[in-house]
Structure 1
Amino acid sequence: MRVLMIQTPSVEEISQERVYPIGIVLLAGLLQSHGHEVDILDMNLERDPFGALKEKLLAFQPEAIGLSLRNIDPLGNKTSSLIAPFIVTVRFIAAVLPQAKLIVGGTGFSLFPERLMLELPELDYGIVGEAEVSFPALLRSINNPPPMPGLCLREGSRVHVSPPATNFDMANYVPANRLLLDPALYQGINNYVPTIGIEAKRGCALNCAYCVYPQLQGKRLRCRPTTAVVDEMELLHKDYGIQSFHFTDPVLNVPHGHLEAICEELLRRKLKVRWDGFLREDQLNDKNVALYERAGCECFSFSPDGLCQESLDVLGKNLSEAQILKAANLVAQTDVVSVYHFMVNVPGETEKTCEKSIQFVERLYEMHSKKKNLGTIILNNIRILPGTKIEKIARAQGVIDSETDLLYPTYYNPKPFSAFRYKLETIQQCRNVFMWQGVE
């Protein structure tokens, strides 16, 4: 079967940061090993994405098309949505090649599978969550598929969504076949985000109030063998000249020992690459921070989210202010840049917690002032996603109601502190500019 894998628009415009679509490339390689003829299109690379799509459809004439909806919106407090270009893509394909089977997946789709299937009758099937097993199985029985994990199919006027698979054995993980989509196309196109991702594990055992990772990947951590992770990095470095990688794991340094083993292997092979990923603060110590730096960490990325203990507790972070500040003190002594992500106006915000938040931002800049290695502090309101604790809180408080459409950008940001983020951003940006320019 001829199968075209498409990364649908996942950035607002061509100038935005883009990443190599390892999900669809991985699946394309898997389908190829099952005897299918495959091709790939990343619409985010094209200056005329729909012109490129039409050309690819007519030239390749796929019998089945796998669509990845990675992002539903750009996040970062923005109110623009990526649903409209996705809908246009689906309808465009159905108009150009009405006989092709359309199958949709991706993180964005997995958050709203029933809603999107009902809104787009052009879609034949969907797959929620991991697709390594379900996608090839679906293609084998495309006209009458049996029950399988994550499958979304129509039953009359309704859509049935099977629970996603969360048990794929990462020891069987086959890296994306980069011959199917040249990484060189992504070299140098971003300003600060590494374009090439590496998946070292799946699953997250944490219970953060706003997060959907445990829903989509399960709570059990499934780690790839560390030598296999480094093999992939080495191949990409030697064959394609890739210098910088982003680990896509929900939390990179959990469980303890896995990232450490990756770093030891990088050092053993003398592999001169750079990498980053989101780190858990309470897992850091003098020894592993030094190891990460020696092994090529180019950015300590943190998402503690709460700017005071009250916020940390509401967000279910299972962290203390002291643990965050201890981690900050450790990384502030390195020659590596650090970036922190926090959420503002969380449930229970008061004048007192606002003042504590300001003081916390100031303390982070004070810690990093000597080395001037605080890249930035990113401040966001909470994007409300279905099935999260934040959604329940927002409904109970009347911030959202039964008519609120969470498919489109919806943030938890009620009065009287709805403008507090702007005050914090002013403080943060002022401190950032003064720090980098050496002005007291």
Structure 2
Amino acid sequence: MRTLLIYSNQSREMEPAAPVGLSYVASAAQAAGHTVKLLDLAFSLNLTGDLAAAIIAFKPDVVGLSIRNIDNVVSQRFVSPQDALREQVAVIRQHARKADGTPVPLVLGGPAISILAERALSLFGADFANVGEGEVAFPALLDALEHGTPLADVPGLCYWQDGVARRNPTVLLPGFDRSGMQNFVPWHNYQKSGGTWPVQSKRGCGMKCSYCAYPLVEGSKLRLRPPGEVVDEIEQVLRDAGPRTFEFVDSTFNTPASHAIEICEEIIRRKVKASFTVMGVNPRDVPPELFPIMKRAGFNSMLISPEAGCDEMLKNFRKGFTMEHVNTCVDRARVSGMKSFWFFMLGGPGETMETAEESIRFAETRLTGRQFLSVFFNGIRILPRTELAEQAIAEGYISADTDLSSGVFYHSPLVSEQALIDRVSLAFSRNPCIVHAADGAITDRQRQLYSWLDKFGVAAPYWRFLPDVLSFPPLHYLRNKFPSGMAVGSP
């Protein structure tokens, strides 16, 4: 079947995210014998126009639309792509038609769909939605559409049956290989915009964080790739696309730490010439040798997500580690010399001004210097089918029929949201390398700077230079004199 797969994510909360998940699906569909085109609209200046033109030119039998984000999960600066996505669906429905004039099947996929599940069908007006990994499910759906086999046999498929949205059980793959993204995605636009090449060394997450929907996307069972296969992929991508920086986009790179260390050892043994960064480091498993060997392998930075700086909130979030682990992680990160970006959330269940003060003071006093960057989110997005959603219903914070596909946030009733905003603003004066998540996404000026950094061959990610910028005395003075001024209810 002629299969058009669409990636339209233009979010710029940090660096642009390349469509690694959709590339896995495209590779699998192509291997199953289908004619596949991956339409990457991440940098399109006329998204709906380019989408319409591509549909008319390609004449697909099936259209797949990948949806990465439900929204930006920032309460005070809430941005949702849902209206834009519905506009894209309207364009697809208008132009992607069979010979008899009826619309071709529209299939939704991506992380957001694994969270929304069958609700996505009515939300976007689609025929099908894939929950979980698509490498098996999507080719199976194409086979069912082509040959009329039962839809009930397609794992993780959401579909309409007698006017009711149904969902089949998901089946996790026992293992997975390389994405093949270089065969479908032009890399130049991503690199000049500060993008990093995504690599998965594992799937699944066995953590029980109360707010997190990651297990809904990849399951709770860890499936590790052999380190040699991971580095094989990196070497192949270097030959084919030549990115400067690879990013390990596992939920946590160091779970287990032994696997991460083996990957680093393989990179060193083969003398791979590239830079690396990592999306997630879990403070629970940071043996003394982890950060030094990451540095030797070429890692220049890492994202670390304790979410809180006090034991009470770590327990409330079900993080599975304590402040003893977090403090050890800080000490070892500092010694490593790598830049690190630390994520915190305020306003969760049980949050008081006292617990919030502990977390903010931790960032003020421990994550100091230009090696560290700390961001505070105020309010926690309540995602469907998470423990936080169940807890919010049990508390009466939301009703059981609340539509969580829209922007619903948890703000602890024990503390003022505005007081938390003001307290984080005060933290700027004590540690310039602290920011509000609500301060804003990447600006046009930053994009221009990223383009210049790319021209000079500087390895991404470029957020690692933000602590140097924030520490520049005139900027530090202006931030203290003119804080963001955010108020509850402001756009």
TM-score, normalization by structure 1: 0.91
1:406 is matched with 404
Quick one: distance in 1 between partners of 2:286 and 2:403?
Answer: 39
1:144, distance to aligned residue in structure 2 (A): 4.4
2:127 is matched with 124
Alignment of 1:337-356 (within 5 A): 337-356=339-358
Alignment of 1:278-357 (within 5 A): 278-357=280-359
1:242 is matched with 243
Please say if 1:4 is aligned against 2:4: yes
Alignment of 1:28-427 (within 5 A): 28-77=26-75, 78-99=77-98, 100-121=104-125, 123-142=126-145, 143-146=148-151, 147-166=153-172, 168-170=173-175, 172-190=176-194, 194-277=195-278, 278-365=280-367, 368-369=368-369, 372-402=370-400, 404-415=402-413, 416-427=415-426
TM-score, normalization by structure 2: 0.82
Quick one: distance in 2 between partners of 1:5 and 1:34?
Answer: 15
User: What percent identity do the matched residue pairs reach?
Assistant: 30
Letter in 2 for 1:325: N
Quick one: distance in 2 between partners of 1:286 and 1:211?
Answer: 28
Report if aligned partners of 2:276, 2:298 keep a CA contact under 8 Å in 1. yes
1:381, distance to aligned residue in structure 2 (A): 2.2
Quick one: distance in 1 between partners of 2:426 and 2:296?
Answer: 33
With over 3 angstroms needed to count, the CA separation of the structure-2 counterparts of 1:16 and 1:222, relative to structure 1, is closer
Letter in 1 for 2:303: S
Quick one: distance in 1 between partners of 2:233 and 2:255?
Answer: 20
1:394, distance to aligned residue in structure 2 (A): 1.5
Deviation by residue 1:57-77 (Cα, 9 ceiling, x = unmatched): 000101111111111112233
**Superposition RMSD in Å:** 2.1
Q: How many residues align?
A: 428
The unaligned stretches of length 5 or more in structure 1 are none
Deviation by residue 1:26-81 (Cα, 9 ceiling, x = unmatched): 22122222221111112222010111101100001011111111111122333221
With over 3 angstroms needed to count, the CA separation of the structure-2 counterparts of 1:219 and 1:16, relative to structure 1, is closer
Q: Which runs of 4+ in 1 moved over 4 A?
A: none
Report if aligned partners of 2:9, 2:42 keep a CA contact under 8 Å in 1. yes
2:479 is matched with none
Letter in 2 for 1:310: E
1:16, distance to aligned residue in structure 2 (A): 6.6
Report if aligned partners of 1:10, 1:71 keep a CA contact under 8 Å in 2. no
The unaligned stretches of length 5 or more in structure 2 are 99-103, 434-466, 477-491
Report if aligned partners of 1:306, 1:343 keep a CA contact under 8 Å in 2. yes
Letter in 2 for 1:32: Q
Letter in 2 for 1:271: V
